[in-house]
Amino acid sequence: DARTEPLISELAAELQTVEHVLVVDGEEPFGLAPYADPDSPGLADRKVDPDGITNVYYTSGTTGPPKGCMLGNDYWLRFAGLYLDLYGLGKDDRILCCLQFFYGDPPWQLLASLQAGTTLVAMRRFSVSRFWDVVRANRVTRLFGLASIPSLLLKGRSDREGDRNHDVRFALQVGIAENLHATMTERWGFPWLEAYGLTEN
């Protein structure tokens, strides 16, 4: 975003391989709007080294100090491909990303959306009060997130008609408490599937 652009541009100037720095700013969902014109940086002709390291994610450190996991192109492509193979993603689908991009999940959500030719709706940050408004306004059909998200949403004000006034067909969440599945499905009218994954994979 505009706040971190000076730092990223300074770092990019030291790296010969960085050609573009994209600044995502403004109100959602228009943050990437400046890159939608024909003069935007093209990616179609880019060659990708499957073994090339794209980034380093740090684990939560539950078994000791955080560990830096070097993740390559093959990791992200496999992750996105796995989601598409298991759940599919059609051109009419719209997947919601409500996590910030320093989490491990937004990159594969973006890649899966790009591979499927569909839309990724990126919230600036998760908010209980704004969540369903964003879902409805952007006609979101898929949700993904961490267990704390549905738990927090359940604590939000219930509106019998509004709770089911959306286009969501299913959600994939990591670590939902077993006793919450039925309650969530009953309230919002779609299945909440359980997922599991490790940064270290």
For the segment 48-62, what is each residue's pLDDT rounded down to a tens digit?
A: 788 888 888 887 767
Mean pLDDT on 98-105: 84
What pLDDT is recorded for position 49? 85
Mean pLDDT on 135-157: 90
What pLDDT is recorded for position 31? 64
Parallel, antiparallel or unpaired: strands 142-146 and 192-195: unpaired
**Long-range CB contact pairs, 25-29, < 8 A, 24+:** 25/1, 28/121, 28/122, 28/123, 28/124, 28/134, 29/121, 29/122, 29/138
Mean pLDDT on 163-190: 90
Contact 90, 118 (CB under 8 A): yes
E strands, 26-151, are 53-58, 68-72, 94-97, 119-122, 142-146
d(CA 128, CA 126): 7
d(CA 199, CA 70): 9
List pLDDT tens digits, range 76-97: 888 888 889 999 999 899 999 9
Which 8-state DSSP code applies to residue 195? E
CA of 54: how far to CAs of 6, 13, 38, 81, 184, in Å?
A: 21, 17, 26, 17, 36
What pLDDT is recorded for position 201? 47
What is the b/e burial string over 21-60, where b = at least 16 CB atoms within 10 angstroms of the residue's CB? eebbeeebbebbeeeeeeeeeeeeeeeeeeeeeeeebebe
Closest by alpha carbon to 143, among 176, 117, 182? 176
pTM: 0.77
What pLDDT is recorded for position 45? 67
pLDDT at 188 over 90: yes
Mean pLDDT on 116-120: 90
d(CA 150, CA 77): 27
What pLDDT is recorded for position 131? 93
